[in-house]
Amino acid sequence: MSSPLPEVNGNGTLIPDHDKLNSLSGHLGHLDDTQQASLGKFKEKLQAEKLWTPAPGGADPKQASHDDGTLLRFLRARKFSVDDAMVQFRDTEEWRERNNMKRLYECIDIEDYEETRRLYPQWTGRRDKRGVPVYVFRVADLDARTMAAYERSSVSTSVGGDEVIGTHESVDSTPATTSGSDLSATSATGTGGSKIKKEKEKKHSRDPSSGGSGFLRGSWFLGGGGQAKEGTVSPASKHGETPAKMLRLFALYENLTRFVMPLCSIAPDRANPQTPITQSNNIVDITGVGLRQFWNLRSHMQDASQLATAHYPETLDRIFVIGAPSFFPTVWSWIKKWFDPITVSKVFILPGEKAEVYAILSKYIDDENIPTQYGGKMHFQFGDMPSLDKELSSIVQWGEGAAVRVHQADTAEHKTNGDATAAFYAHQEEKTLPHGPIFWERSTTGPGSVSNGAASGEQQAQHLWRAIGVGSVGGTARRTVVATLAAPGLDQDGAEQWVSQAQLGSAVFA
């Protein structure tokens, strides 16, 4: 449901309303009678067009081809208009098949993936008080030299040794060679294995119709968040060609929907556990960003919102903009005109002082999950790999594919916390996620050992879920077990409900 725009203080700073930010209307478990009826009608129409498959033999609905949380994202994006949601869902299915998003995510070159990850919002490994993942995006790092280098490298993207070049990719029906049962799975979202043809074209990113060349295009900054304007058609139908660099970006969205959201959904002690996590929070730090940089981005931001909202609707919960310069209210007055009112209502421009920023963030995010530079206790610098919070860590059994994150007190921000704290963090190590794409897979090996909080060798009676690190290195596929969800006390029914869909490699969470 639409909510009013946030209030504005005397300086033109947008102040978030606590109650509006925590509304769950339109989400699973919080539907009114009209919304519930729309969901049922939506399923009927999707099934008639073979775009959605119910659970076989009347089994648990969680075994359907697409979970209810995903279907509701499309409905919320279209203000619960079933016909409009059908158009957007259909267009997204066709787009995913045309660009073979399953293979892109599972076979993309890890260096290409990591280069793109460093330029876009990054998951801290932490969540807000409702369990929604928190991302951080520091814009000032993206200087002209960095972006010029990315422009050159992202003209092509390596996918399993094949180079994708130009403004669009076509697929044939030849199955790609992969390993693992879930990698050969198919769904109604264009997830069958296909071989991407290399198709060179001379028309690259300078043509605005092919996506432009800005780092905010399609990013979480103003994408994937809003509802459609009245009387519009699905923006998905307007983008028949996808530049290679944009496919890299969408690989990051796949990580959000296929790894981060399912993990956050089954976290213990979460409020509203019956409601899957289907959105993300973003702290966007624009400290030190000048007017020229904003001006250079002007032609890219609208494309960003259109593309992301078209194919990953309602994945944005809210954005906190931090470090806004004095001229930003003027800039914002013309930027916001490019976006629909609902997207605009999710952007909150916080006051400039650190204490004021912390005072607002701490209403929604616990102290230990707010980065120190914004007044919290978490040591996280832009570019770091995630540091899982204690609740997520309690259900993760790290595997051989995990990486090691070393805390380094190498900034003034860290050192001001005192010598003892600095010394501690200079030597602190923890397991974390490796570079590259990851998704969830149901284990076929049966019960396994559990070590987190359990006696050595204790067996888990239910199915195990594994986080599989994929992607490719030099054209050679990577497949490694990063972690297992096997902690004692984990609600396996909950894990089944939200993680089971991720194994399909489809747009279930996308």
Contact at 8 Å (CB) between 317 and 279? yes
What is the predicted pLDDT for the residue at 170?
34
Mark the ranges of the chain whose per-residue pLDDT is less than 50. Answer: 1-12, 166-221, 229-240, 409-416, 446-461, 487-498, 500-510
Give the C-alpha separation, 216 to 342, whole Å.
19
pTM for the whole structure: 0.77
Which tens digit of pLDDT belongs to each residue from 441-465?
Answer: 887 554 443 334 444 444 444 557 8
Sequence-distant (≥ 6) Cβ neighbours of residue 7 within 8 angstroms: 14, 15, 17
HEC sequence for 319-385: EEEECCCCCHHHHHHHHHHHCCHHHHHCEEECCCCHHHHHHHHHHHCCHHHCEHHHCCCECCCCCCC
What is the predicted pLDDT for the residue at 14?
55
Residue written as token pair 């990113």: 205
b/e map 71-80, b = 16+ CB within 10 Å: bbbbbbbbbb
Q: Is 179 exposed, middle or buried (CB count within 10 Å of its CB: 0-12, 13-18, 19+)?
A: exposed
What is the predicted pLDDT for the residue at 136?
97
For 150-278, list the strands marked E by DSSP. 156-159, 162-165
Contact at 8 Å (CB) between 92 and 311? yes
> Maximum Cα–Cα distance for the chain, whole Å?
65
Give the C-alpha separation, 194 to 101, whole Å.
10
